[in-house]
């Protein structure tokens, strides 16, 4: 089967940049038993926004109900490494 995952929007994010805003994006990946991970997928970066809207959909192959979708919210930094703002792990069985 296939898991269709929609990344719609976020509200009231934490200020992460010096200007008091954030440049958020979401990385998505499928994980399974034994620690394997499918290639990550990424939303667009929404610059200077604490209430971003992505409205993007992603598809992942599902081979068993033990798999999980991991979503990590980042703040993009032009200089240095991006900062993690939050994450959620959703079991495919909950879809």
Residue 50: its pLDDT value, please?
Answer: 98
- What is the band of 69 on the pLDDT scale with cuts at 50, 70, 90? very high
With a cut of 90, say whether residue 59 has pLDDT above it: yes
Task: Kindly list the domain boundaries of the chain, sorted by start residue.
Answer: 2-94
- Burial (CB count <10 Å: 0-12, 13-18, 19+), residue 69: buried
CA 77 to chain centre: 16
Counting residues of the chain whose pLDDT is more than 70, the rounded percentage is: 100
- Cβ(64)–Cβ(15) below 8 Å: no
pLDDT digits (tens, 9 = 90+) for 23-56: 999 999 999 877 788 889 999 999 999 999 999 9
Class of domain 2-94: mainly beta
């Amino acid at each position: 089967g296939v898991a269709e995952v929609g990344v719609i929007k976020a509200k009231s994010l934490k200020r992460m940049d010096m200007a008091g805003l954030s440049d958020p994006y979401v990385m998505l990946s499928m994980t399974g038993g034994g620690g394997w991970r499918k290639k990550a997928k990424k939303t667009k970066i929404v610059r200077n926004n604490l209430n971003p809207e992505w409205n993007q959909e992603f598809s992942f192959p599902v081979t068993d109900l033990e798999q999980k979708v991991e979503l990590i919210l980042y703040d993009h930094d032009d200089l240095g490494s991006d900062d993690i703002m939050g994450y959620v792990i959703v079991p495919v069985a909950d879809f």
